[in-house]
Amino acid sequence: MRVTAIEGHRIWAASYDDGLNPLLALEARVLLERLTGLAGSRFLDVACGTGRWTRMAQQRGAQVFGVDLCPEMLFEAAGKSGLAGRLSIGDACRLPVADSVADLTLCSFALGYIAPLRRAIVEMARVTRKAARIIVTDLHPCAVAAGWTRSFRSEWQVYEMDHHPHAIADWEAAAASAGLALEWRLDACFAEPERAIFNRAGKDSSFEELRRIPAVLAMCWSKP
């Protein structure tokens, strides 16, 4: 069944943290070692969903704030220890956050649901202080080109969510228009740490083929 992104996340929210998701596992594996120096910092999680990264940053000593457009996702996030009162409903293109406050702004697996890509990245640049970082991840354009979908299963029904494919050049142009400087880029593929997830989901036969396709695109920019 085809649904909008907001409808899909409303349905998905209650079970989002329960599923075996190799994309989230891969993203965590490649990002965690790069999220250093969080203690005492201000961490803004844009499109925070159920608070996966918000909670992680808080556990590492950051002062956290999460924003999402889906009330059901925020309800799940608020149930995590320490996150109640640290969350707000809001649009990534119109963040309810003051200028230049975040030491690290993260947007995980959300840009593909946002049509005005430039507006979202410019807005993230607005709320991030000078010399601070903005990190964005999403389903890799190569995976989209290979036919991968934004889909999930709930109560025996498969839902495919509307999304807006953005080329890497679009990310780069949007960041340039916001005055951001690239620090690093990752084109991450599934590897042995994710094999067990495929096995448990009964999809071990597809692992070798899928591991050859870049699955997660991540970019980190600094604000001069």
Bridge partners for 45 per DSSP: 66, 106
pLDDT of residue 156: 86
pLDDT of residue 202: 85
Which residue range(s) make up the domain with 187? Answer: 2-222
Per-residue pLDDT tens for 4-22? 999 999 999 999 998 789 9
CATH number at residue 165: 3.40.50.150
pLDDT of residue 204: 87
Work out the percent of the chain whose per-residue pLDDT is above 70.
Answer: 100
Give the separation between CA 97 and CA 105, rounded to whole angstroms. 11
Q: What share of the chain is helix, strand, coil (3-state, %, to 5)?
A: 40, 25, 35
Average pLDDT, the chain: 96
Per-residue pLDDT tens for 43-52? 999 999 999 9
Per-residue pLDDT tens for 116-150? 999 999 999 999 999 999 999 999 999 999 999 99
Bridge partners for 105 per DSSP: 44, 134
pLDDT of residue 109: 97
Q: What is the pTM of this model?
A: 0.96
Structural domains in the chain (count): 1
Per-residue pLDDT tens for 181-221? 999 999 999 999 999 999 988 888 899 999 999 999 999 99
Bridge partners for 219 per DSSP: 136, 185
- pLDDT grade, residue 175 (50/70/90)? very high
Parallel/antiparallel/unpaired status of strands 216-222 and 128-139:
antiparallel
pLDDT of residue 42: 98
Using DSSP's 3-state secondary structure scheme, residue 92 falls into: coil
